[in-house]
Amino acid sequence: MDTILPIIAGAIFATGIYLLLRRSLILTIIGIILISNSVNLALFSLGRLTTENPPLIKAGSLEPLTPFANPLPQALILTAIVIGFGLLAFALALAYRSYRELGTVDQDELLQDAEDTSATIVPKEDYKEGGDS
Amino acid sequence: MNGLLVLPLAIPLITATLGLLFRKSSQLQRWIGVLGAVALLATAILLFRDVHKDGIQVLQLGNWAAPFGITLVADMLAMLMIGISAIMGLMIAVYSLYDIDKERERFGYYPLLHILIMGVNGSFLTGDIFNLYVWFEVMLIASFILLALGNSKNQLQGALKYVFINLFSSLVFLFGVALLYGMTGTLNMADLAVRLPEVENSGLVTTTAMIFMVAFGIKAAVFPLFFWLPASYHTPPVAISAIFGGLLTKVGVYALIRVFTLLFTGESADNDYLHTILLWVGGFTMVIGVLGAASHMEFRKILSFHIVSQIGYMIMGLAFNTAMGIMGAIFYVLHNILAKSNLFLISGIAQRLLGTFELKKMGGLYKHYPFLAVLFLISAFALAGFPPLSGFWAKLSLVKAGLSIEQYVITGVAILVGLLTLFSMTKIWLTAFWGPVPEKTPDHFGKMPLFGAGKLYILVIPVMVIAGLIILVGLNAQPLLELCMTAAEQLLDPSVYIEAVLGPQ
């Protein structure tokens, strides 16, 4: 296990990088998902895999049965998964919104005429009266 | 143990929560937003007094002893950064009262701003490397939404680039954390500092250091990794550009300073190798950034490229790895947050008056608004490093640090880049301020006063305060230089930090 897992993590990372470099926005997102999972796997295997007892304390006892598996990497991965999930949901929403607004998921077309920034902000309407907004 | 340490995180959180509770009322939101920023500034001052008087302050969250729980640590560097971010938070909150439209307010602009500040403060205070990752994510998610809020075409294009590169850099960071954990079995930064020198495979430590350099380098926008910054920072409203440009990249610089003085020191990694790379990166960042600024003709794009260029100076100071160099880098960070944010804020006022950010369509600001021109000159000269403004002392201490360790080439480059900075600032001055009034101007140009009807003073007052601070720091630099020196000395002697967190060894 502890030799196979890092190799798998590396392979997934490489696949993720390949997808990240594709032009379609959707593939880029899938690439980020893959990289995120491979980093989690790496964290898991760097936390020393063991096939021992679960890190739980039996009723009536004061300490877990030794040797027990290290629970910390799992807690870290859980945190990372939750954070990754939130960010991913945002990235998907952003991609969908860009598709709706700009009509394409091809990044070359998506990022065209990004130079024109003059129209970003229109001055406020209540300029002259000096309204309070 | 100092309970005050939790307040820089709790106050923005409470402010944001209250803001969300009263989401419907834009009046209340504004009051809450500004008052929260005032409260944060007050706490920062209280905490600063403690750190100044009694040295490094530590709080073990949940009363778990050091290497096992999460530790909050406030040393002088963290406090200086929290202080400046509290000042900027207040200024931006006031500026936003005019600059941010009702629509954005309704979608939670003020709560997001405070969540962003909470993430920034958390990154400064935490003493745990995985917790640092979590605070980075808090900061990122708030910045993602602030950048995309409004959904204009430009913003979406900018946000796409910003979001994906930052997601990637977070994953690289997390991988670095995984490697550190695999090597040492701990995540507490003080504990890591003790255990990393004991790792037998010092090559792997150096590799991990490189991974951190890439992860934080993307956030700080250093030379080969900066392309996302000028592509996205000019798209949101000016208040958001200003806080991004002022604070966010500096958090990356802070993280670099922290890990390269505490974790990857000469004892644990190949220091010469790492610092040589940092030096080259710093040099290229300065030069490429300023050349980019010289080639653009849009107000905010010029400023965005300048952010990149100025980051180079800070990296250079870190790469010198002497007390003088790091002191210069810290001073530079503080000065740059003031000067850079102020220039962004001024660009916003200019755009309000002339209706555009394109320099070719701007002009006549000096004729009709001489006071605004003076404010611009103060910030621009500070950025370029003119005496007696704050930038002069920042550059002077870096140049002195470079000469004292005989790094003549990079010091020469730094001085040259200062001249080029001046050149691109003159470009803005010659067109937007000194140039002739353009044929087509909005009706109110020249008629709307800075103070009085139109309420432009809401925008001008924060700019005046920051310009005042720039002059104050410039004329009386000694106290701040001494504080930066204390911070640098604390950084270069990690045993103080380690003892404060883990107890006497």
The domain ranges of chain B are 278-493
3-state class (DSSP) for residue B449: coil
Q: Given an 8 Å threshold on Cβ–Cβ distance, is A97 in contact with B174?
A: no
The answer to whether position A44 is within a domain reads yes
Residue A121 in any domain: the answer is no
Residue A37 belongs to a domain: yes
CB contact under 8 A, B163 and A94: yes
Rounded to 10°, the helix B299-320/B390-404 angle is: 40
d(CA B58, CA B1): 5
- Using CA atoms, how far apart are residues B257 and B315, in angstroms rounded to an integer? 8
B144–A90 CB contact, under 8 Å: yes
The CA distance from B487 to B326, in Å, is 9
Q: How many domains does chain A have?
A: 1
- Structural domain including A43 reads 1-51+67-102
Residues found in chain A: 133
| Residue B37, SS3 per DSSP | helix
Q: Say which CATH number the domain at A5 has.
A: 1.10.287.3510
Q: Is residue A84 part of a domain?
A: yes
Distance of CA B459 to the CA centre of its chain: 21
**Does residue A39 sit within a domain?**
yes
pLDDT exceeds cutoff 70 at A119: no
Nearest to A123 among B161, B177, B355 (CB): B355
> Is the confidence at residue A133, as pLDDT, over 70?
no
Handedness of CA B457, B139, B78, B306 (dihedral sign): negative
- The set of residues, in sequence order, having a beta carbon less than 8 Å from that of B487 and lying 6+ positions away, is B75, B76, B77, B80, B326, B327, B330
Has residue A75 been placed in a domain?
A: yes
- Would you say residue A131 has pLDDT above 80? no
Nearest CB among B151, B352, B355 relative to A101 is that of B151
**Distance in Å, alpha carbon of B74 to nearest chain A alpha carbon:** 24
> What pLDDT band is residue A117 in, cutting at 50, 70 and 90?
very low
Those residues with Cβ within 8 angstroms of residue A44's Cβ, 6 or more apart along the chain or in another chain: A5, A73, A74, A77
pLDDT-based confidence at residue A108 (cuts at 50, 70, 90): confident
In a domain, A11, yes or no: yes
Residue A127 lies in a domain: no
pLDDT in tens, chain B (505 residues): 778 889 999 999 999 999 888 888 888 888 898 999 999 999 999 999 988 888 888 888 888 887 888 899 998 999 999 999 999 999 999 998 888 888 888 888 899 999 999 999 999 999 899 999 999 999 999 999 998 888 778 888 888 888 999 999 999 999 999 999 988 888 999 999 888 888 888 888 999 999 999 999 999 989 888 888 888 888 888 899 999 988 898 999 999 999 999 888 877 777 888 889 999 999 999 999 999 888 888 888 888 998 999 999 999 999 988 889 999 999 999 999 999 999 999 998 888 888 888 888 888 888 888 888 899 999 998 988 888 888 889 899 999 999 998 888 888 998 899 888 888 888 888 888 888 888 777 777 777 777 777 778 888 899 999 999 999 998 988 889 999 998 998 888 888 888 888 887 6
Contact A94 B156 (CB under 8 A): yes
Burial (0-12, 13-18, 19+ Cβ within 10 Å), B160: buried
Amino acid at A32: I
Distance between terminal CA atoms of chain B? 18
